[in-house]
Structure 1
């Protein structure tokens, strides 16, 4: 039953889950008002009274107006979120109630089907009426959710503007009022993982399933924060989760960034909370002879898979055993990279079906090649040659054995425009647009454990929710329609 409801309302309910928290980020930023002026008196040279004002400003140039605008917006959003969250709780209650009713109705109809002679036409008509009533209730819920989604989309625009203002003030003015607000902002962010997990479990029960025909929608960018070094110059790197986590590390996050396209170290965080607090539990400096290059590296089974240049190869570094290996891929060329990204010759990806690497060769004339990696032997199992020219792409990633190629549309917009299915060896064109947070990004990878895209965008941690076109098998009709 949960699959049925997720199928009919996934766009709206996931949007509510995601945008609810974005709105919540700002609700904690209702700042205490700063006292700006106090009146006093003084005597001028002529002996008369003169009205004076004492300015209690952090500095004579601090943009107080910007702070006031953010404060007012935060209070306004907080009130709207309270109203919408009340509705969300009501939606969850209704979903549970509808699921119970449909399961009960399904059981009753199954009994009737097995013993049709025990029932008359009136009995069957009664069940038809109950089915129509349930359909009407679900349609009513869908319209309600759609209404709330519109509200949250509006709030998202306001919150984005607030975050930009806050970031600008923090960079420009190292003042206590901004730092206090940043601490409040981080405090609320710590609740993101739990909130997101709650909605993911409720509305997306099919994590890990490939019973769909592909991506149909990408959410707005979810910006976590600037990198662990708080350095906007660290524009190259990546972040995310282990695609095949070892026991007790299912919630772990990792990050690696640098001022050039080099992989020199990597940090591990127990969970999202510690990622936001920049509190790593492990920090590995990569051995000088093992330093990597490029940015599309992944971690799978507590092992880093990445590119090296000496020799030009794919490497793996197991953080459990600290064993290192590299593998030269015959024909792979160091001449073909993604547009706007240096040294992106090998792109490692991990999805529901395993580990992959993409590259181009002189023989393929720069066309992208997909290769499946055998994790045990670290060898190539099979190769697939696509028709897309790698230097024309901004990035690519794998989902359920299907490659999705991405290109830049304009300064703010990317497009998933092409896919290649390694199971059928068929390729096709599509158009799914999504936003970047900043002008350039260095990595874009899919993680099968939560069905998200992770982007390292000009030094910021950014992620996206994905929506899939589920097949009949994955989202079968309600039980009462199944024979």
Structure 2
């Protein structure tokens, strides 16, 4: 481990978070520099100086003139060396240090070792003192060599990194002086980060918490969480029939979700969810009511349920998502979220089994707007929305899925040649939803919970 450790911490601070807003100190930027391993080991040189002093006091001046002269020379060089170490420390504190400083120290230590070798030849009767002095000098040499090596490998690199961080600190301070623009709720299709470009490889993947016997389910994070639940994650699995669920499992943090610990199970009331396309939004769980052509909203706080007919929507496996060889059961009504709120994707006979896109009023489940597309719903394996743009996927192989279709609800533009492919953990994808809060795609794949990061143009 090196002699020095440097850490530069950059961030925002808001003092006195527990006091009322009017009494708080304004936000500020700060930079904290810590030395983890202590200063340059100057005391090593001082100990060596003390040893040489004691040795010179015990030598007979008349009989050992040459050793005394050597010791005087050692004392002078030690004083010079201590002086150089002080200078080095000032250079280091001022960030003016260089490799030349270390080279000078090496040369002077080499000269010091030559003198000690001469002293060894002249002071055979003072073997203990000489040995102790030589050992300490060697230890000091090792320490300086270690410091020099650490500087070459670490300090210069850390110094450059700190320059960048300090530049960021200046930008942070300047940003605090800028008056933020008022928040404007974006309209469909108007996202500043553009259209979807790529999907990452799986960023996380693990078997769901109930086991491989439950290939159908859903999971994620509420894009509009209740206060205090900003990091809450949820999981719903369907029964062995792969048709309905009975409860939603809640974790107050992603860490607990990963460790499968400290969860809370909440049972559904009156209506169970059907299919694996439900989701959490605004502290409520939205889903297709079991065995009905209705949408349900389950309030996570009061456990109250409201249900509303979805006009002309197919259900009970009439218009599910499908691969070329089989279908994902009971996926007729697919709930989705994006920057504009809550949506439902489904099909009707009036639209010949093609995908219908409707934006919902999250409070009462009424339809705000609807669009008919030309995408045959059974030709897609799943779909999600980003900024009012629908993206649909299809099965390519057991390892690859492709986003091949898009529909912009603002312009009405429809394309089926996107060819955005991404790697799967397992062949099937029973659930997929985009979270506008962290811009991640949450996927349930053959009993595994998976997440992806989206990149936009």
* TM-score normalized by the length of structure 2: 0.58
Q: How does 1:175-190 map to 2 (within 5 A)?
A: none
| 1:247 counterpart = 2:235 | no
Partner of 2:266: 284
Deviations 1:144-191 (A, max 9, x none): xxxxxxxxxxxxxxxxxxxxxxxxxxxxxxxxxxxxxxxxxxxxxxxx
State the structure with bigger RCO (CA 8 A, min sep 6), 1 or 2.
1
Change (3 A) 1:95 1:453: farther
| 1:301 counterpart = 2:289 | no
- CA distance in 1 between counterparts of 2:257 and 2:403 reads 29
- Deviation, 1:439, is 1.5
Look up the SS of the partner of 1:438 in the other structure. Answer: coil
Look up the SS of the partner of 1:212 in the other structure. Answer: coil
CA-atom RMSD, angstroms? 2.7
Q: In structure 1, which of residues 370, 373, 377 is the aligned counterpart of residue 364 of structure 2?
A: 377
Partner of 1:332: 313
- Deviation, 1:416, is 0.9
- CA distance in 1 between counterparts of 2:191 and 2:288 reads 28
Q: How does 1:126-275 map to 2 (within 5 A)?
A: 210-229=191-210, 231-258=211-238, 259=240, 260-275=242-257
Partner of 1:387: 374
Count of aligned pairs between the two proteins: 281
- CA distance in 1 between counterparts of 2:165 and 2:455 reads 22
Instruction: Please say if residues 244 and 274 of structure 2, whose CA atoms lie closer than 8 Å, have aligned partners that are also in contact.
Output: yes
* Structure 2: runs of 5+ lacking an equivalent: 1-153, 176-189
- CA distance in 1 between counterparts of 2:197 and 2:412 reads 20
Which 4+ runs in 1 deviate beyond 6 A?
85-92, 100-106
Deviations 1:318-356 (A, max 9, x none): 011111011111111121100030110000001110000
- CA distance in 2 between counterparts of 1:327 and 1:105 reads 51
* Structure 1: runs of 5+ lacking an equivalent: 1-84, 107-208, 470-483
Change (3 A) 1:310 1:439: closer
Partner of 2:439: 451
- Deviation, 1:250, is 0.4
- Deviation, 1:409, is 1.1
Q: In structure 2, which of residues 392, 397, 411 is the aligned counterpart of residue 424 of structure 1?
A: 411
- CA distance in 1 between counterparts of 2:263 and 2:157 reads 36
Partner of 2:341: 354
Larger Rg: 2
Look up the SS of the partner of 2:378 in the other structure. Answer: helix
- CA distance in 2 between counterparts of 1:90 and 1:282 reads 47
- Deviation, 1:365, is 0.7
Change (3 A) 1:211 1:308: same
- CA distance in 2 between counterparts of 1:325 and 1:268 reads 21
Change (3 A) 1:338 1:248: same
- CA distance in 1 between counterparts of 2:156 and 2:307 reads 54
* TM-score normalized by the length of structure 1: 0.55
Deviations 1:398-444 (A, max 9, x none): 11111111111111111111111112222223121101101112101
Larger helix share, 1 or 2: 1
Look up the SS of the partner of 1:244 in the other structure. Answer: coil
